[in-house]
Amino acid sequence: MAAPLRLKATSASPGVATGPAYIAEPLAAAASPPSNLSGHAELGNAIKTAIRELQNLAAGPDLEGMDIIEFQIEVLQDPTLTEMAGARIDAGENVAFAWAGTLDGYIRELECSEEERLRARAVDILDIKNRVLSVLTGTSLDDFPAGSIYVGRDMEPSRFLAHDWSAGGGIALYAGSAVGHVALLARSRSVPMVVGVGQFTTEGRQHIEVDGDSGVVVLQTARENATPAQFGHPATSTAPIADNGSLHTADGEQVLLSINVNAPGEVDSIPAATTAGIGLMRSEFAVTSLSDAANEEKQFAIYRRLLDWADGRTVTVRMLDIGGDKPLAGLTGASSLRGVRLLLARPEIARVQARALLRAGIFSNLRVLLPMVTFPSEIDDLRQIYREEASELTRRGVPHGIPPIGMMVEVPAAALMLDRFESADFFSFGTNDLTQYLFASAREDAGFAPHQGRTVPAVLRLLSQAVKLAGGKPVSICGDMASDPSRTADLLAAGIRHFSVAAARLPAIRSAIVGLNADGTKAAGE
């Protein structure tokens, strides 16, 4: 057996703990309730609720914890913050964004402070920012299983306080501070903790060890799928095929098979090794309210969770495709716009998501997909947002990376002009919208549906032209057509070599591909 992997860290609280890893989870999504309160009243009520929640936490016997909660309550009651958020609301900003923007400004100020004591307070402000956003969204901070090792970039003090540590467990933070509030709490409760481990990947529930005495994290077992040797298990015919989504047509051409994902929990039951990763993550199904859209941490947690699952395989996150027939709870005033047009019209939404994706971009396997692109300039404009947010993160010293940025090909004009989209790093065909816009049909037009077979030839002709215009850049298909085994031959013939399909369709599409030649003809003997 290979020696356990030891990661150097900084000790923040002594002791040794072993347990299943808990990778910091996103908050449970919930629709925000309709509200006809004024923004000021809505924020005021949310702050009051947050204070009540904190007071309930403070009822515990923990003196250090009391101090921290008293501090957080005092910040929630700070007249300066209320004024700044109020001014943003008066200027027309949505409540959630007004609050998040105000607190983000203060968090940045603290992070840039020369004094570590002040820098260490940033996570308290992040904590109350998220607490109020949770109230605005109607969700609450999730607890994690007793006895587990909390793994995350940082930890909110209230999460520590709400957790039952009597069953043991520990904390390993990628970043964090040994003089921060959580470290202080951990020492007072004798919870082993290390900080500054740096980014590391581990699967949820895998046993890891936190050694707060010598400042190391031990990943005890080398994961099987971390090694490329997958030839050793030939007799597992009932198990899903762990081919990493890389298969071959009957005449030996490589085809990739990825999955489409809506909510992050969907991947839990799917072994990553049966896929080439996530070809399409529809972020609008995980970010379901304007408050979520303002919540950078929550989004970051969702993307991180998918990247952890994929374990090095590609994860393609499509930025919020909202507007039109996909409304976002709480969003008003721009409903006629959709996709990238809406993102550019409401850059405050795009910027939060860009920051979360940039932070997740420290994983080189992340890719970002822009929805409903019509013109090359839209990609340039969005790229500019990524560049600006990236330099801001650099200034703050937050680790990040600019992921490859590709586009959905679902507007017929874009498909026709694909060679002009020089700034797109890759292309993904969305055949549902492409068909709809190509045939002047409304999606809700039920009368048109029975005749959809008739649309196929024109869509295929457009696709095969577009594949040629893609100029060798990566091309994939993620629409419903990709999940339909009766279309696989046509799509192969059109030149498609990467299919992203609903997870349930993996076996059907896999067997369709291996029974066909690369030109879509049936293999001999079939």
Between residues 124 and 490, which has the closer beta carbon with respect to another protein? 124
Among 90, 109, 380, 445, binds another protein (CB under 8 A): 109
Among 48, 60, 74, 486, binds another protein (CB under 8 A): 74
Between residues 82 and 335, which has the closer beta carbon with respect to another protein? 82
4-43 footprint of another protein as x/- string (CB under 8 A): ----------------------------------------
Q: Sheet holding 193-195: strands in order across? A: 5-8, 216-219, 207-211, 16-23, 149-152, 170-173, 193-195, 10-13
112 lies in the binding site for another protein (CB under 8 A): no
3-state SS, residue 442: coil
Between residues 67 and 253, which has the closer beta carbon with respect to another protein? 67
Q: Within 120-139, which residues bind another protein (CB under 8 A)?
A: 121
Among 78, 90, 164, 213, binds another protein (CB under 8 A): 78
3-state SS, residue 7: strand
Closest listed residue to residue 155, CA positions, set 181, 192, 136, 189: 181
Between residues 118 and 222, which has the closer beta carbon with respect to another protein? 118
Task: Name, in order, each residue with C-beta under 8 angstroms of 391's C-beta and a sequence gap of 6 or more.
Answer: none
DSSP strand pairing (5-8 vs 10-13): unpaired
Task: Name, in order, each residue with C-beta under 8 angstroms of 282's C-beta and a sequence gap of 6 or more.
Answer: 260, 261, 262, 318, 321
Among 33, 37, 70, 391, binds another protein (CB under 8 A): 70
Among 20, 30, 49, 71, binds another protein (CB under 8 A): 71
Shortest spacing between CB 98 and another protein, in angstroms: 16
80 lies in the binding site for another protein (CB under 8 A): yes
Burial environment of residue 286 by CB neighbours within 10 A (0 to 12, 13 to 18, 19 or more): buried
Shortest spacing between CB 193 and another protein, in angstroms: 20
448 lies in the binding site for another protein (CB under 8 A): no
Among 57, 81, 194, 340, binds another protein (CB under 8 A): 81
Choices 116-124, 325-333, 398-406, 438-446 (CB under 8 A): range interacting with another protein: 116-124
Among 34, 61, 79, 228, binds another protein (CB under 8 A): 79
Shortest spacing between CB 189 and another protein, in angstroms: 17
- Cα separation, 302 vs 26, in Å, equals 6
Shortest spacing between CB 301 and another protein, in angstroms: 26
Between residues 132 and 503, which has the closer beta carbon with respect to another protein? 132
Shortest spacing between CB 182 and another protein, in angstroms: 14
Closest listed residue to residue 27, CA positions, set 218, 225, 197, 159: 159
- Cα separation, 293 vs 331, in Å, equals 10
40-69 footprint of another protein as x/- string (CB under 8 A): -----------------------x---xx-
Tell me, what amino acid is at 62? D
118 lies in the binding site for another protein (CB under 8 A): yes
Among 1, 59, 115, 229, binds another protein (CB under 8 A): 115
**H helices within 112-225, ranges in order?**
116-119, 122-137, 157-162, 181-188
Closest listed residue to residue 416, CA positions, set 487, 464, 382: 464
77 lies in the binding site for another protein (CB under 8 A): yes
| Phi, psi (deg, nearest 5) at residue 359 | -65, -40
Choices 77-85, 296-304, 350-358, 372-380 (CB under 8 A): range interacting with another protein: 77-85
| Phi, psi (deg, nearest 5) at residue 6 | -110, 130
Q: Within 399-428, which residues bind another protein (CB under 8 A)?
A: none
Shortest spacing between CB 155 and another protein, in angstroms: 17
Q: Which residues are bridge partners to 21 per DSSP?
A: 149
**Cα angle 347, 351, 355; round to 5:** 170
Shortest spacing between CB 114 and another protein, in angstroms: 9
Q: Tell me the site size for another protein, rule CB under 8 A.
A: 19
Is the dihedral angle over the CA atoms 386, 392, 394, 396 positive or is it negative? negative
468 lies in the binding site for another protein (CB under 8 A): no
As a dihedral over the C-alpha atoms of residue 264, residue 270, residue 276, residue 282, rounded to 10 degrees, the angle is -30
Among 8, 48, 52, 117, binds another protein (CB under 8 A): 117
- Cα separation, 54 vs 127, in Å, equals 11
Q: Provide the b/e sequence for 475-496 (b: ≥16 CB within 10 Å).
A: bbbbbbbbbbbebbbbbbbbbb
- Residues forming the site for another protein (CB under 8 A): 63, 67-68, 70-71, 74-75, 77-81, 106, 109, 113, 115, 117-118, 121
